[in-house]
Amino acid sequence: MFSASADNIVTGSKLLMELLGAEASARADIAERMRAAEHAGDDATHAIFHQLNSSFITPFDREDIYALASSLDDIMDFMEEAVDLVVLYNIEELPKGVEQQIEVLARAAELTAEAMPHLRTMDNLTEYWIEVNRLENQADQIHRKLLAHLFNGKYDAIEVLKLKQIVDVLEEAADAFEHVANTVETIAVKES
Amino acid sequence: MFSASADNIVTGSKLLMELLGAEASARADIAERMRAAEHAGDDATHAIFHQLNSSFITPFDREDIYALASSLDDIMDFMEEAVDLVVLYNIEELPKGVEQQIEVLARAAELTAEAMPHLRTMDNLTEYWIEVNRLENQADQIHRKLLAHLFNGKYDAIEVLKLKQIVDVLEEAADAFEHVANTVETIAVKES
Amino acid sequence: MFSASADNIVTGSKLLMELLGAEASARADIAERMRAAEHAGDDATHAIFHQLNSSFITPFDREDIYALASSLDDIMDFMEEAVDLVVLYNIEELPKGVEQQIEVLARAAELTAEAMPHLRTMDNLTEYWIEVNRLENQADQIHRKLLAHLFNGKYDAIEVLKLKQIVDVLEEAADAFEHVANTVETIAVKES
């Protein structure tokens, strides 16, 4: 069930990619599909909680399952919020670094989707954890350069505020991928 | 003891309501009463922690009691911060959507206060959890519309920054109600 | 090992202090040393996680060790981010209250470094916990006054945005010290 949730995040990250190249007229449609992906994510989360409620024995500690499902849900929420803000604020052009942010998110989404099936055996998870932490550091660097770019005088203050909120939400998505990896690490620590 | 904490939050949400209609001259008095409510909340939180310290047997896991008390404390802190910022920034008029934000918080406060006594029996908590999650989604929609309104060009950038901080803090209060509901759900999952 | 992590935070808080009085030309060097301190912090965190992985018996619950190491890591990250932003945004002069913020952080860092060795015996930790909570309240007051100062009309909007981000990150560092203290309290509650 975590795999369903992570696959959905891969869908979300592809929609973010699509948004980058989209005409203004195509954005509403992408936002609509993003909303559908977020609802599918909510359903996956609720299915996990429901299963948790009706199971006597669980593969890991209930709290960890809960934390993992919640963090996966957070990623989807942040990605959906980013798309929604681009439409809501009617952003004409996103600064260049946003593309790099989204590429990092897409890579983290792939790694997370690949890692989830390994929760069964706890094999090969160290590499995933290290790589997602590395990607989060990279996202952090891109985010800081983007902020410096926004503040360099080319944009007016209201435009800075709008764009800053979007790049901040994408940074929160990168942080949430790290939270997922850290929860996986916590589970691995307990199982070891 | 959680009930005392939640009743105090109801008091806080009523003070937020009162703030909306208040003359500028009456605001300092409301802020004063809000600060008193926040201190009462702190006392309730410390009473829970003290009880936790001196009890050998607790009704739920100590960590969950700790998390629940902390989240209730957070709600009060965010509500107090909102009132304090309105006074500190000397805001002349709050945008319309703020009233809707506060109405959602007041409803969530009532539901939370009603739910706390049910922790004894674990009855009727599912409905509370679903409803608070629904209210948080509603708060989220109101919050995004408020941001679009702030950025539509009528306000100057400094005014946008002040008002954005206030509506963001109110959104954090809505999120904190969801955290309380999620902790209640975690406790219910463990007891089931 | 928590002591190594906390000592490193003391180093970080001293570099923040040094930054206050530094010429613009000396800032890059301070940022460099801050980055080194942050890397040393990362190493301390990973050493704790590695030890956790290879130990069958741990002095406290694994989750609490994990939470404590993560919170100590967060403090270092926020302090490093603050220095980095000052350099990145090429800030000419920091508002006066920032000095007070950093003094509170330096005091919290000292108290935290003093408290860590007491985790062995669980002695004298109540005073530490109360004092860090008091310092966090003080940091909160300084932070709010700083925001009011930034918004009083002397700064242009882009400058407000830059400075606000720096004072917000310093406030997050103060909050992270409180998280460390709260985790220590949670451990103490369980041991009692």
Is the pLDDT confidence value at C139 over 90? yes
pLDDT level of residue C131 (50, 70, 90 thresholds) = very high
pLDDT band at C53 (very low <50, low <70, confident <90, very high): low
Contact list in C for residue A151 (CB cut-off 8 A) is 89, 158, 161-162
Mean pLDDT of B131-160: 93
Q: Domains along chain B?
A: 2-191 (1.20.58.220)
Q: Search chain B and give the residue with CA nearest C192.
A: B53
Q: What's at B167, amino acid-wise?
A: V
pLDDT (average), residues C93-99: 94
Mean predicted confidence (pLDDT) in B31-41: 93
Determine whether the interchain pair A165/B186 forms a contact, defined as Cβ–Cβ distance below 8 Å.
no
Contact between A143 and C153 (Cβ < 8 Å): no
pLDDT at A135: 96
Mean pLDDT for all residues in chain B: 90
Residue in A144, A151, A182 closest to C162 by CB: A151
Q: In chain A, which residues have their Cβ closer than 8 Å to the Cβ of C85?
A: 144
A43-47, A54-58, A70-74, B71-75: the lowest-pLDDT one: A54-58
C127: distance to nearest CA of chain A, Å?
A: 31
Q: Would you state the pLDDT for residue B59?
A: 75
Band of residue C56 on the pLDDT scale cut at 50, 70, 90:
low
B152 and chain A in contact, CB less than 8 A: no
Report the residue count for chain C: 192
Confidence class for position B104, pLDDT limits 50, 70, 90? very high
Closest residue in chain A to residue B188, using alpha carbons only: A53
B133 touches chain A (CB under 8 A): no
Q: Which pLDDT band holds residue A17 (cuts at 50, 70, 90)? A: very high
Which chain A residue lies closest to C163 (C-alpha atoms)?
A151
C122 shares contact with chain B (CB less than 8 Å)? no
Mean pLDDT score, B94-123: 94
Q: Does C151 touch chain A (CB under 8 A)?
A: no
Mean pLDDT calculated for residue range B128-145: 94
Mean pLDDT check: name the lowest of A155-159, B47-51, B93-97, B183-187. B47-51
Q: Sign of torsion, CA C24 C25 C30 C32?
A: positive
**Does C151 contact B158 at a Cβ distance shorter than 8 Å?**
yes
Of A52, A62, A162, the CB nearest to B151: A162
pLDDT at B60: 77
Average pLDDT over every residue of A82-93: 92
Burial class (CB in 10 A: 0-12, 13-18, 19+), B21: exposed
How far apart are the CA of C190 and the nearest CA of chain B, in angstroms? 8
Q: With 80 as the cut, is the pLDDT of residue C111 above it? A: yes
List of chains touching B (3+ CB pairs within 8 A)? A, C
Q: To the nearest whole percent, how much of chain C has pLDDT over 70? A: 98
Q: Do C52 and A189 touch (CB under 8 A)?
A: yes
Q: What percent of chain B has pLDDT over 70?
A: 98
- pLDDT computed for residue B94 by the predictor: 93
Average pLDDT over residues A132-143: 94
Residue among B63, B85, B89 whose CB faces C186 most closely: B63
Residue of A nearest to C90 (CA): A148
Most confident of A4-13, A98-107, B36-45: A98-107
Rounded mean pLDDT, B37-65: 80
Taking an 8 Å cut-off on Cβ atoms, the answer to whether C151 and B157 are in contact is no
Inter-chain residue contact B88 with C144, CB threshold 8 Å? yes
Residue B36 CA to residue B30 CA, distance in Å, equals: 10
As for the ipTM of the complex, it is 0.75
CB < 8 Å from A in window 26-65 of C: 49, 52-53, 62-63
A58-81 average pLDDT score: 87
Contacts of B153 by beta carbon, 8 Å cutoff, 6+ apart: A158
Percentage of chain C lying above the pLDDT 90 cut:
63
Residue A49: pLDDT band (50, 70, 90) is: confident
The three-point CA angle C106-C110-C111 to 5° equals 115
